[in-house]
Structure formats: C-alpha cells, structure tokens
Amino acid sequence: MPAFRERISQQLVARQTAGLARRLTVVAASNQVEMSPVGMSSAAQTWVNFASNNYLGLASDASVIEAWQQGLDRYGAGSGASPLVTGFSYPHQQLEATLCEWLGYSRAVLFNSGFSANQALLFSLLEKGDHLLQDRLNHASLMEAGVLCAATMQRFLHNNVQDLANKLAAVDGQTLMVTEGVFSMDGDLAPLVEIAALRSANTLLAVDDAHGIGVLGTQGAGSCQHAGIKPDLLVVTFGKALGIAGAAILCDRQLGDFLTQMARHHVYSTAMPPAQAHALVHAIAMVRRDEWRREKLHELSDYYDQCMRQVAGYVATPTAIKPIILNASEAALRCADFVKQRGIWLSAIRPPTVPNQQARLRVTLSALHEKSHIKRLADVLGQWMEAPHEH
Ligand SMILES: *Cc1c(COP(=O)(O)O)cnc(C)c1O
C-alpha cells in the first residue's frame, strides 16, 4: 500500500481499537427537544435531546426562522464576496453595531465560525518571541491555533490563577492570556476577575465566551459582564445560545482596525450571508429581551441538581453544561448507548476531547426542556447505575 494510504489506514484502525471512533448520525429535528432518526418507520423512536448547545431554544424558534426568511427576501442568498471586497452589506454593519452596543465594545469583527475567529485571533496577533498562556482545557480551536501560531505557547493548569501568575512572571515580552468564560466540557466558570487582575502593559487578555454568551449576565451579555470584567478581546459565537452560526471578536478601535486588515480568516473568506446577519440581529434582540429563557434554564438546572445528586459521577455546575464523569471511555460509550435505547440522547465525550480517564457524559440543558424530561433522564441513569452487568 502507498505510504499515505497505509498511514491513514493505521490511524483509522487505531481510533477504532481504542474505542474512540465517532459516528455521524443523520438526525431529524436536531434543533428541537424531541428528535428522531431519519428514515425510520412510523413507529420511529424519538429521543429527548440533551446534547445540543441550543441553550435558549432559538435554533428552532419560529420568529428567528421568519427573520432569516425576511433577510433572504431582502438581501438574497449569499454575500458574494469577502468583506473587504463587496461582501459587507447593511445587515453585517447592523450586526456589528448591535454586538458593540450589547457587549460594550467599540468594534466587532465578524467571522463564519468560532473556530476561524480563534485561529484568526492567535495567528494575526502573535509574532515570534511572543508568549501565549492558555488554560489547558481551552477548546480545540484555541489549542490547535496555539500550536500553529508564531508565539511560544504554554498551558496553565485549569482555572489555576497561581500557575498562570507564575508562568506570566517567568516570561519576557508581549503575552496573550486566553481562557474560556464557561468551559465547554466541564460547565465551570473561569476565575475571570483574578485573571484580569494579572494584566499589565505587556499583556492582552482574550476570553472565548462561546458557552457564556446569551446564558450568563444581564441581558445575556455573558461571562465577562457577569464577572464585571472587560477583556481586551472577547470572542462570541452564534451557533450556541444564539441558535444560528458564525462568530465575532469584540475589541477596541485599534485592535478592530488591525483584525480587519490582518485577520486572514476575515480578509480571505466569503462574508456570511446577509440574511444570516439579519437573523442574528433579531436573535440578539430576543436573547436580550427574553429573560424568561434564562430563568427557565435556572429552574431546570436546580431541578437537575435535585434529581441527579445521587447519581455517581454527578457534578454541580453553575451553567447549563452538566458533566457526569464516568472515567473509562468504554463506560461512557456503553452508558450513552443504554440511555439512547431508552429515549435519551446525550454525548459520550472521550479523549482526546477530554483528558485520559475523564470520559464523561455531557448533558446540556435547554430552555425548551421540561422538568419531565429531566426526570426521565434521572430515571434512566438510575436504571443504568443499578444494572452493573451492563457496565
Ligand atoms: C463551539 C466552540 C467554538 C467553535 O465555535 P463554532 O462557531 O462552532 O466554530 C470555539 N470555542 C469554544 C469554547 C466552543 O465551545
């Protein structure tokens, strides 16, 4: 076999053997609370979806859909070009202005995904000789960009301000500190106040708030507003609580000018469809206005604690992300299958997404859930715990 093919085949087999291979499932109504597999008979099973990041329920919201349709009628299908050519139109400008006003920044630079925003941020801002200090549990997009960027990256212990301070004191030159606001696999909050206090003239702080935006803070303004800090760079993504897709980096005028010129994922990538930007303006207005969605999440979270406290692996979190730590990848997989057969869909999260021996179930709550859904989850997990032969 040619060397390329051999290597690819070996890596695929290794994934499989380690029990780490993942599967694509075609799902109908993946943005709703009850979803079903595509192509099954009328007796098709449905699952309660505890795996999405649709925290506020906007991904299937009728008025968000209507706004997107209205955007299509007004602006057509695609943007036709990258932003600095002719792809930047009125709804993009309106989206940027809306983000700035909501989150208290002078500039917002739009991207097609959080993944590309994070890459653009680290690639354009950092030069050789700079330092990058990241929480070791930061998202894969940040880790990959950190490895590939020009700066020297060090990872500090998760949420460990002392370790970050020590590493900061030991480096010379420009240093970018990066943390998430809410950690995507653990549902815990970064110690943002303490981290922000480490800033000096030679540092910048970036916070990726993919899971905090819309969910935490006044009018859903996110982790930083909730903590009372303002990072130099705030990354927000639109595919989770906002229910759509895309991302922005919020910053001051100078950084905004710089990113607009230098961030290659912005300069050389087709701007998001104007209709999407139009729908996002609408979604942001709903996020700000609909306090009931966040209140509902709180209620569901309290109820989850009440029902799940007895379950082995349960972790209390202040967010809608609820890990159940099962350690072994095999156990996580088997448990996810067990509950799937009983009408509950949740994710088994395995290495390399989480550290070795920290495989888990990741339960996410949505404002669309009802208490009865959570009761069912707890009952089925209780059955699993009492069926040791299944483990
Ligand atoms: C989901 C996520 C991203 C990627 O955002 P996309 O818009 O889905 O590409 C980046 N950072 C964090 C922390 C995330 O959870």
Q: Prior bond to 352 cis, omega within 30?
A: yes
Q: Please give the structure tokens belonging to residue 161.
A: 């301000």
Q: Which residue has the tokens 């890596």?
A: 11
Closest ligand 1 atom to residue 141 Cα is 10
Q: Which residue has the tokens 């979803």?
A: 35
- Report CA(8)–ligand 1 centroid distance (Å): 27
Q: Please give the structure tokens belonging to residue 359.
A: 């495989």
Environment class of residue 278 by beta-carbon count within 10 Å: exposed (0-12), middle (13-18) or buried (19+)? buried
Q: Is 119 in the pocket of ligand 1 (CB under 6 A)?
A: no
pLDDT at 164 over 70: yes
- Is the pTM higher than 0.85? The answer reads yes
- Report CA(213)–ligand 1 centroid distance (Å): 12
pLDDT digits (tens, 9 = 90+) for 112-157: 999 999 999 999 999 999 999 999 999 999 999 999 999 999 999 9
Nearest alpha carbon, ligand 1 atom 5: 114
For residue 119, what are the CA distances in angstroms to 122, 146, 266? 5, 8, 11
184 is an active site residue = yes
- CA separation for the pair 336, 386 (Å, rounded): 15
DSSP tag of 357: T
- Long-range contacts at 64-68 (CB < 8 A, ≥ 24 apart): 64/243, 64/244, 64/279, 64/282, 64/283, 64/286, 67/278, 67/279, 67/281, 67/282, 67/283, 68/244, 68/275, 68/276, 68/278, 68/279
Q: Please give the structure tokens belonging to residue 70.
A: 């209205």
- Report CA(382)–ligand 1 centroid distance (Å): 32
Mean residue pLDDT across the chain? 94
Specify the pLDDT at position 390. 58
Closest ligand 1 atom to residue 209 Cα is 13
Nearest alpha carbon, ligand 1 atom 8: 114
Specify the pLDDT at position 386. 86
265 is an active site residue = no
Res. 18 pLDDT band, cuts 50 70 90: confident
- CA separation for the pair 217, 241 (Å, rounded): 13
pLDDT digits (tens, 9 = 90+) for 224-259: 999 999 999 999 999 999 999 999 999 999 999 999
Specify the pLDDT at position 42. 46
- CA separation for the pair 366, 52 (Å, rounded): 8
With the most atoms of ligand 1 within 8 angstroms of its CB, the residue from 184, 233, 353 to mutate is: 184
Cβ atoms of 212 and 26 closer than 8 Å: no
3-state secondary structure of 36: strand
Specify the pLDDT at position 39. 61
pLDDT digits (tens, 9 = 90+) for 27-72: 888 888 888 777 654 456 789 999 999 999 999 999 999 999 999 9
DSSP tag of 106: S
- Of the residues 208, 209, 232, 290, only one is catalytic, namely 208
291 is an active site residue = no
Phi, psi of 4 (to 5 degrees): -55, -50
**Who has greater pLDDT, 352 or 3?**
3
Q: Name the residue type at position 359.
A: A
Name the least confident of 56-60, 284-288, 346-350, 369-373: 346-350
Nearest alpha carbon, ligand 1 atom 1: 210
Res. 19 pLDDT band, cuts 50 70 90: confident
Nearest alpha carbon, ligand 1 atom 10: 114
